[in-house]
Each structure stands twice: as structure tokens, then as C-alpha cells.
Amino acid sequence: MNLKRPKNIASELTACLPEALLQMLERAGEFSAGRGDSLYIVGGLVRDILLGLPGKDMDLVVEGDSLSLARELEGYFNGHVTLHERFRTARFEVKGFTIDIAAARREHYEHPGALPVVETGTLKDDLKRRDFSINSIAVAASGKDYGDLIDPLGGLADINAGIIRVLHPASFKDDPTRILRAIRYEQRFGFRIEPVTLALLAEDKKLLPALSSDRLRYEFECIFAEEKPEDILIRAGELSILAEVFPGLLFGETSATWFKNARGVDPARPVSAALYLALFFGNADDKTAKNSVEKLNLWLGAARAILDVHILKTHAAELKKTVLKPSELCRLLSSLHPLALEAGRIIFTEQVIKRRLSLYLSDLCHIKPELSGDDLIKLGYRPGKKLGQALEKIKDAKLDGTINSREGEISLAKELLREQ
């Protein structure tokens, strides 16, 4: 890779950013300059523009008052601002765009995995605290220097060389989530983690379990949002990172194929993080799956999808039976989360099981009796256990095709409840 970029990339900003975002950037620069503050674009957007990728969301750093700038933008563009005064940061959202605004700062960490302690600093301080050199490049966004590249830490050279490099030896100790981000960037851009950084990663990966559930879950959600998350997870396995976080979990070519097949089910629909999670833990034993649900503090849908995949596997022999009535199939599957069944269609190799899971998801799960409990009560039957059992048998008969009309359902109800 050879990105011979000029010192000033104002024209690249114009080419890569949507018009609405350019207007907001121009106004932010004017507001900052009016107070004597300096404004900079930093981080991933700069990196992506240098790589010729389109830009959308933006990170801004102000040598000055970031919170006042955010309020001014909110008033001018009628957007929504969320302020985090402890960290001197703000998030400005308007017209489908997100701009994160922060005061230039330095920070230190009291122990591995802790949130940073923040102090006011300069732009260079702010760039030095970042995760990797490729994310430590800034662009002036106010005053006569608009568009000038600021690269005190060699980020552009590392983009040219295609390498991921931390900025200091304690980087992973300060924030172990950077270990997961390193392999995510490496695979996304086709870069390589340079040797010193790789050695630090190998030494500090043992710190990953110290992370909070929310921070760990967020990093895996970011992995699942990538175009090919399986490449990242294979690499994480090769570096024994997965073993640190999820002991006993294996992610190999079989799991990678499941991920690829999940995207092939409906290429127009992104694969949800919950489905990826169900596939991710599809090869895990029950204990590892349950521990992982707790470790990631997963939302209910994802937790059920993961655990129900393991229940589904216990039904494999019944799902392969030569004769299986639709009502019997529904009794096996109706209590399981639909995402577990979607995962099952991908995980199971037996075509008969795949067909039956597809039949249930596309058709059988939507079949309901026309009669309700209220209808039967209006016909004079008493509420209670027998009425509920009758409704279940009516549903079974409809699933199996022995009745196909409301009149048939009423007739069967009278037969089942004639003793009342």
C-alpha cells in the first residue's frame, strides 16, 4: 500500500463526506474559531478517508470548550445532544448523523480494565492516549489550517505499511479491549499486527477476563457487525484470545462456515448479533454456554437463543424420525426461541431436520385455531384445565389436517367437552 497523501486533505474531506456533514463541520469550525478554540477531526474517520473509504459519523476534538460547542450545534441545527461532563464529551445527533465531540485530554488508568481518569490536555496528549497509530492522525477543522494533516505518531506511515501498532507498551494493560480491536482492524483492512504489538498482546491477553460484562459484550457486538466476523474469530482463536475469554470454546472452520451460511439465508438482511451468538456457541458444551451467557450479561433474546440451541440438539433423534406429525413437531419446537431454530437450520447437517425446522418457522408456527377460549365460554363451556386441553387438541387437529374449518373446530370441541 502506498498512500502518498498531501499535507492538506481538504479536497478529500469534500469528496468523502456527505454534504450535510460538511455543513455541520464548517459551522463547528466557525463556532470554535469564534471562541479562539482549535477544532480537529480525529480517529477512524481520518483513517478511513486516507484509505479512500466513505465517511459518515465523526469524532471531533476541541482544544477548548467541547460542551459549549455541542450546545451551539444543537441550537443551530435543532439536533439532540447528550453530555458526559465527567469525561468532557458530548454526542450530537441530527439528520441521521452522529458527531462525538470531546475536549483534548490526557488520561491514565488506575488498574487494567478500569475506566480512565481524565485531565485537560493538548491535541498531542489526546492523540497519544489512543489505541493504535492508524487512529492517532488528526485533521485541522477550523481556521486557516483547515484540512491540514497532523500526524505526530507516525500513523500515516503505518497505514502505508499496512500495520497495526500500539502507541506505548502499557496500551493493552490500560485497556484490554484494544486486544479485540487490534484483530478486528487487522482483518477488516487486511493489515498485520506488527511484532512488538503482537508480543504485548500475547503477554496481556490474560487481562481480558477482568473486563466488565458490558465492555466485553460491546467488543463482540462490534466483531459481529463486521463484514466477515468469522475471520476475526478464527484469528482470535489462533492467538488464544478466545481461550482466555471463553475457556473450552473452539471456533474453527465448521463455525466459520456456519457464519457464512447465515449470511446466505437472506443476503439482503443483515445477520443479527443474537443469531451470530447462537452459532458462536453452537459447538460449546452446556456449561461453557451457560457461563458465557452470564459473562457477557446478554439480553434475554440472545441468552435464550444460545441455550435453546443446546436443547434443540437433544431433540435430534426425534426430529429425524421417519414419521413425525406436524403437531408432534410443534410440541418439540414451540417452546424454543425462533433464533435457536434458525441457528439449527444452519448447524444440523441432516436434510430432514433442516426441512422440518424450515417447515415450522415458515408455516406451522403461524397456525392457530379459529376458536379461542372466549369463544368456547360463550358456547356455554366452563373455563378451566379441560377447556385449555381441548384447545390444544383442536390446534393439533388443525396442524395435522384432520379439521380445516371453524365448524370442524366447534364439532371437535363439543366432542371433547361433552361431559361439561
Q: What is the DSSP string of 10-57?
A: HHHHHHHS-HHHHHHHHHHHHHHHHTT-EEEEETHHHHHHHTT----S
Q: Tell whether 404 and 352 lie within a shared domain.
A: no
For residue range 224-268, list pLDDT tens digits in order: 999 999 999 999 999 999 999 999 898 999 999 999 999 988 888
Residues 404, 346: one domain? Answer: no
User: Which domain does 317 fall in, by range?
Assistant: 300-322+329-365
pLDDT digits (tens, 9 = 90+) for 319-363: 999 999 999 999 999 999 999 999 999 999 999 999 999 999 999
Res. 57 pLDDT band, cuts 50 70 90 = confident
User: What pLDDT is attached to residue 254?
Assistant: 96
pLDDT at 113: 64
Does 419 have pLDDT greater than 80?
no
SS3 83: strand
pLDDT of 206 over the 60 cut:
yes
User: Does residue 62 have a pLDDT over 80?
Assistant: yes
Domain count across the chain? 3
In the structure grid, which three cell numbers stand for residue 341, read together? 431454530
Boundary (domain end) residue, out of 94, 128, 163: 163
Residues 14 and 34 in one domain: yes
pLDDT at position 314 over 90: yes
Torsion of CA 224, 226, 231, 234, to 10 degrees: -30
Better-scored residue on pLDDT, 1 or 322: 322
pTM for the model: 0.88
Of the given ranges (142-151, 170-179, 402-411), which has the lowest mean pLDDT? Answer: 402-411
| 216, part of any domain | no
**3 and 151 housed in the same domain:** yes
* Closest to 293 measured CA to CA, from 276, 270, 277, 314: 277
CA 319, 321, 327, 331 dihedral sign is negative
What pLDDT does 253 receive?
95
Boundary-marking domain end, from 128, 163, 198: 163
In a domain, 138, yes or no: yes
Domain boundary, last residue among 110, 136, 163: 163
265 inside domain:
no
Is 90 exceeded by the pLDDT of residue 86? no
Same domain flag for 338 and 380: no
Q: Are residues 304 and 409 in the same domain?
A: no
The pLDDT assigned to 211 comes to 93
Report if residue 116 sits inside a domain.
yes
Where is mean pLDDT largest: 44-53, 161-170, 245-254? 161-170
Label residue 365 by pLDDT band (50, 70, 90): very high
Burial zone of 279 (CB within 10 Å; 0-12 exposed, 13-18 middle, 19+ buried) = buried
Let me know if residue 88 belongs to a domain: yes
Residues of the chain with pLDDT > 90, as a percent, come to 74
pLDDT of residue 55: 74
> Could you give the 3-state DSSP secondary structure of residue 140?
strand
pLDDT of residue 41: 96
Residue 48 has pLDDT above 80, yes or no: yes
134 and 97 in a single domain? The answer is yes
Q: Which residue has the higher pLDDT, 382 or 367?
A: 367
Please indicate whether residue 251 or residue 371 has the higher confidence score (pLDDT): 251
Q: What is the mean pLDDT of the chain?
A: 91
Q: How would you classify the pairing of strands 105-108 and 97-103?
A: unpaired
Share of the chain above pLDDT 70, in %: 96
Highest mean pLDDT among 6-15, 348-357, 364-373, 400-409: 348-357
Asked if residue 7 has pLDDT above 70, the reply is: yes
Do 357 and 378 lie in one domain? The reply is no
User: Does 395 share its domain with 361?
Assistant: no
Q: Within a domain: residue 11?
A: yes
- Which of 155, 231, 157 lies closest to 190, judged by CA? 231
Q: Is the pLDDT of residue 2 over 60?
A: no
- CA dist., res. 74 & res. 62, Å (int): 16
pLDDT surpasses 60 at 1? no
Considering the domain boundaries, does residue 123 fall inside one? yes
CATH number, residue 146: 3.30.460.10
Same domain (yes/no): 344, 404: no
Judgement on whether residues 66 and 44 belong to the same structural domain of the protein:
yes
91-120 pLDDT, tens digit per residue, is 999 888 899 999 998 877 767 666 677 778
Q: What is the average pLDDT across 166-170? A: 96
Does residue 113 share a domain with residue 15?
yes
What band does 390 get if pLDDT is binned at 50, 70 and 90? confident
**Does residue 314 fall inside a structural domain?**
yes
| pLDDT on residue 366 | 94
Q: What is the mean pLDDT of residues 259-280?
A: 93
pLDDT at 375 over 90: no
